[in-house]
Chain A
Amino acid sequence: MSLLTPDLGLVFWMLIAFGIVVFILTKFAFPPIIKGVEDRRRYIDESLAAAKQAQEDLKNVKADGEKILEQAKKEQARILAEAVKSRETIIRDAMDKAQKEADVMIGLARKQIEAEKDDAIRDIRKEVVNLSFDIAEKILRKNLDQKAEQEAVINQLIDDMNVYKS
């Protein structure tokens, strides 16, 4: 039956037609279509990935900002605490130093006062001796002719001197 036997002529034409179709479609039609579709797919994938990345970055930025803020607060508190501490130490140091200085000055003053007192005493003593000698001279000059009186005066002078000395 002719329906079931391939016919040479039609096979020939079919080879030509199919060959041309295969050549043109595989060369010029399907490659750009498939390439376009795959480019689009890649583009969509990349865009999605980029969007995801951006979202993540944003989240990270927020977290980073919070972290930085927290750190700054901590730093601030620490610096404040340090300042308070250093202020106290400075004040205490200053006070200590002032105390010491004052002590030293007071000591010096005391010493000077002592020395000046000693000087004064010494001067006074010298003055007293001079005065005593003057007095004694005068008295001696006046009362040397009366023996009894003389002795009394001398004794008294000596007593006075002793009293003064003690």
Chain B
Amino acid sequence: MFSKALKCFLSAWMFLAMSTSLSAGVVSQADSLEAEAAPLDVKELILEHLKDDYEWHIATYKDKDIGIPLPVILYSKNSGAQLFSSAKFHQNKGYYKGFYISKSGKYKGKIVETDASGNEIRPIDLSLTKNALSLLIGSFLLILLMLFIARTYKDEPIKPKKGLIGAMEVFILSIYDDVIKPVLGEDYKEYRYYLLTLFFFIFFNNILGLVPIFPGGANVTGNISVTFTLALCTFLIVNLTGTKEYYKGIFWPDVPVWLKFPLPLMIIIELVGLITKPFALMIRLFANIMAGHAIVLGLVSLIFITAGMGAALSSSMTGFSVVLTIFIYFIEILVAYIQAYVFTTFTAVFISGARVKSPKTEKSLKST
């Protein structure tokens, strides 16, 4: 069942890759003159995809953008709370109620308004953007999947499971038995469900981001806001459940006194360490997933770049691009797993690092 799902997934991607390359060929031939006039800006295209958006753009057909408009939710100091569809920007030439999407500068691509002196300012922006919607859809699907699995365990707890549920059980247990239990030791019971959730949330959204058709394809876990929130949760859990010994290690570590008084060198280093750990988690996940999306987009863009360079080169590059893209896609599936695994493992490691016991109890534990 699992392999079947994978097959479906791959064939869907293949189909899409083919159709995009085909339509690209048609478009490029029709507009070959224009294409020469305005060469494809690959960097802009990739960045366009990687960043968040106020509407879910699906395709451009005959110069018309096809997409799903999403709700814009704003709170501005000038005009108060606002709720309207992002399609309003299109209908009103980019401006609506004094708000517009900035074209350049600090807030490029974000909704801004102008203050009295003409400067762009950001209202409080809680818009349900593309990534936010993808997050909600992904969360919903993940909850459905897991509740579906959990239900069979409520009905028949002892009976071994088959098919997708059996595969998911092996998957869940591989994290549970090989990561959570060994890393956390005796404390694992309090954190196990959170860590499992964390792993599957990241993994599921990573995979969803690889699915090129709606509702997938958004660069969710490759967005810094998402990884920032995940890292913030890790930071809070690690530091709110730390033991006395952990805090003693930070504020009065076992080093020569001159290292901590009068100049609290070690304390500063430890405090910086508190921040750098989740910061590294945030950057690692963000950079890996973003890079994966960027590579896939770059490879697909090869087709568009070489489209105007003659049939032989164009077709050979198209084939080359598809083959490479498939290869990268497999790697991205691997990365989706590895990054979820790494994030979960490091979170578990940081938690267990904050659960240090006093040397006495540790000794008694070792002797037993």
Contacts and interface: CB of A to CB of B under 8 A. Distances in A.
Interface of A: 2-15, 17-18, 20-22, 24-26, 28-37, 39-40, 43
Interface stretch (B31-39, B135-143, B295-303, B335-343): B135-143
Interface stretch (B11-19, B144-152, B259-267): B144-152
A92 B224 CA distance: 114
Interface residues of B, number: 53
A29 B224 contact: no
Interface of B: 47, 50-52, 73, 107-110, 124-129, 131-132, 135-136, 138-139, 142-143, 146-147, 149-150, 153-154, 157-158, 160, 169, 172-173, 176, 192-194, 196-198, 200-201, 223-226, 228-230, 233, 290
Contact of B193 (A7, A31, A39): A31
Given A28-B150, A39-B157, A14 B229 contact: yes
Contact of A26 (B149, B176, B197, B228): B197
Contact of B224 (A3, A21, A31, A43): A3
Contacts, number: 136
A30 B154 CA distance: 11
Determine which residue in B50, B127, B193, B198 has the highest number of CB atoms from chain A within 10 A of its CB, and name it. B193
B105 to A, nearest CB: 10
Contacts of B153: 32-33, 35-37
A133 B197 CA distance: 154
A5 to B, nearest CB: 7
Contact of B194 (A2, A6, A26): A26
Contact of B52 (A10, A17, A21, A37): A10
B225 A14 contact: yes
Q: Tell me whether chain A's interface is mostly helix, strand or loop, or mixed.
A: helix
Nearest to B161: A36
Given A5-B224, A10-B223, A30-B146, 8 more contacts: A2-B109, A6-B229, A8-B126, A9-B132, A21-B139, A28-B147, A30-B197, A39-B157
Nearest to A23: B197
B173 A13 contact: no
A66 to B, nearest CB: 39
Contacts of A37: 153, 169, 172-173
A43 B129 CA distance: 49
Contacts of A3: 47, 50-51, 224, 290
A2 B193 CA distance: 34
Nearest to A16: B136
A14 B224 CA distance: 11
A25 B143 contact: yes
Contacts of B194: 22, 26
Contacts of B109: 2
B287 to A, nearest CB: 10
